[in-house]
Amino acid sequence: MNTEAMAQGYLEDAEYTLHEAKEALRRETYHRAVRRAQETVELSLKATLRLLGVEHPREHEVSDVLNRIIGTRELPDWFKSELETISLTSKRLAEERGPAFYGDEKAFIPPRELYTREEAENAVRDGENIYNLCYKLFDWWKSPS
């Protein structure tokens, strides 16, 4: 299997996970919306790294790797201009991954009580934004020059 096929598979999974995030938001399970939004971002960025032929680390937050290699690849300016937003979003949501799943175990607060509708909406919106950027890059990559 080539890197383009791997990237496409990751993007398909990211799209499905984004759908789950939106459904969790609709059902008012805000912690699940945050968790699925984080997974959307993670899969989208790992798809981008695969597309660029880069083996991604087995971590949940990979924006540092993307930032390190971006200068070594010929990529569109519209994507490069979004790198700071991509990095900040990825880092923020990666920090929420554990609490969104397990809650605050030290304070004995379940995950359902940690997130507001606004926080979940922001996470889903940000996840969708990064998915769309990565999908657009995938389309750009596949199009003949």
Instruction: Write the burial class of residue 43 (CB in 10 Å: 0-12 exposed, 13-18 middle, 19+ buried).
Output: buried
Give the model's confidence band at 58: pLDDT under 50 very low, under 70 low, under 90 confident, else very high.
confident
For residue 81, the domain's CATH number is 1.20.120.330
Give the model's confidence band at 60: pLDDT under 50 very low, under 70 low, under 90 confident, else very high.
confident
The widest CA-to-CA distance across the chain, in whole angstroms, is 55
Average pLDDT along the chain: 93
- Which residues span the domain enclosing 134? 3-142
Residues paired with residue 109 on neighbouring β-strands, in sequence order: 104
- Cα–Cα–Cα angle for 100, 45, 104, rounded to 5 degrees: 15
With a cut of 60, say whether residue 79 has pLDDT above it. Answer: yes
Q: How many domains does the chain have?
A: 1
Give the model's confidence band at 2: pLDDT under 50 very low, under 70 low, under 90 confident, else very high.
confident
Nearest CA-CA partner of 137 in 68, 74, 72: 74
pLDDT for the residue 1: 54
Which one has a higher pLDDT value, 13 or 72? Answer: 13
